[in-house]
Amino acid sequence: MNTQPIGIFDSGIGGTSIWKEIHNLLPNEDTIYLADSANAPYGPKGRENILALSIKNTEYLLKKGCKLIVVACNTATTNAIDYLRHTYPVPFIGIEPAIKPAALQTKHHAVGILATKGTLSSALFSKTSGEFASHVNVIEQVGEGLVELIESGKVQSEDMRNLLKGYLKPMIDAHIDHLVLGCTHYPYLIPLLTELLPKHVKIIDSGEAVARQTKAILNQHGLINKATTNGKHHFFTNGNPDIMKSLLNSTSTVEFLDF
């Protein structure tokens, strides 16, 4: 079982930001990445839909023999991970907005969070936020339209800049000193966000923490691949493989798959 691949899925290509962290920390592991770009964005869909899509992705990865599944999508994690954990026999790693470290570190008692509607309206998010950030002014912003632009390859576009400017304004006005990225697509916006935010604002995402947790859970289950060679990686998308490839290094092959 320990030579089987790690499965990773997202509503699209954003979870490749998580794949990169996992690959850095666990270079000998094989991976299979599934980008459900044809159904992106998940954010505005209701919980039932998000759950059904998460089940479809999970069952595909299990058919491929994955030993552990990383739900590299905040929206799918906050809406579906409990169900997935109770239903399937492999360990699941999820990703949630890093509201806890931001609330612990803020000096101005003001943090911004940019995430999808599906994440911000989930029960899991309100629980985490209530538990760790009730003493802090949390400025929530739905990143409407951001995933769509990233999925169509427009990370550095004027449209993107204009949307972000509007979303950041209330946060800057509230003097945030931390911005939490609550969507795995958003790390690709860090260069633009850094340009638009005051210098002292720290941007936090959960990618590295997910990779560390993946390693810990593999260890705990005796599932670490002991190979000393570099892992093999398969990237599948039901969207545009070229756009996905542009986020990865040039040697990665991305296949179109109608799943």
Kindly state the DSSP code that residue 141 receives in the 8-state scheme. Answer: E
Contacts of 246 (CB under 8 A, 6+ apart): 153
Please indicate whether residue 66 is annotated as part of the active site.
no
Which region among 72-80, 99-107, 204-212, 215-223 touches ligand DGL (by CB under 6 A)? 72-80
DSSP string, 4-64: SPEEEEESSSTTHHHHHHHHHH-TT--EEEEE-GGG---TTS-HHHHHHHHHHHHHHHHHT
Q: Rule CB under 6 A: say whether 119 interacts with ligand DGL.
A: yes
Q: Rule CB under 6 A: say whether 147 interacts with ligand DGL.
A: yes
Interatomic CA distance for residues 167 and 232, integer angstroms: 39
Using the minimum distance from each CB to ligand DGL, give the nearer residue, 75 or 225.
Answer: 75
Q: Rule CB under 6 A: say whether 210 interacts with ligand DGL.
A: no
Contacts of 166 (CB under 8 A, 6+ apart): none
Among 23, 178, 185, 233, binds ligand DGL (CB under 6 A): 185
Among 9, 19, 33, 42, binds ligand DGL (CB under 6 A): 42
Using the minimum distance from each CB to ligand DGL, give the nearer residue, 5 or 14.
Answer: 14
Q: Rule CB under 6 A: say whether 79 interacts with ligand DGL.
A: no
Contact criterion met (CB below 8 Å) for 114 and 167: yes
Q: Rule CB under 6 A: say whether 116 interacts with ligand DGL.
A: yes
Q: Rule CB under 6 A: say whether 41 interacts with ligand DGL.
A: yes
Residue 71 — φ and ψ, nearest 5°?
Answer: -85, 90
Q: Rule CB under 6 A: say whether 183 interacts with ligand DGL.
A: yes
| Catalytic residue (choose from 50, 73, 111, 179) | 73
Strand partners, 94: none
Query: How many CB atoms neighbour CB 107 within 10 A?
Result: 8
Site of interaction with ligand DGL (CB under 6 A): 10-12, 14-15, 40-43, 73-75, 116, 119, 147, 183-185
Which residues are identified as catalytic?
A: 73, 183
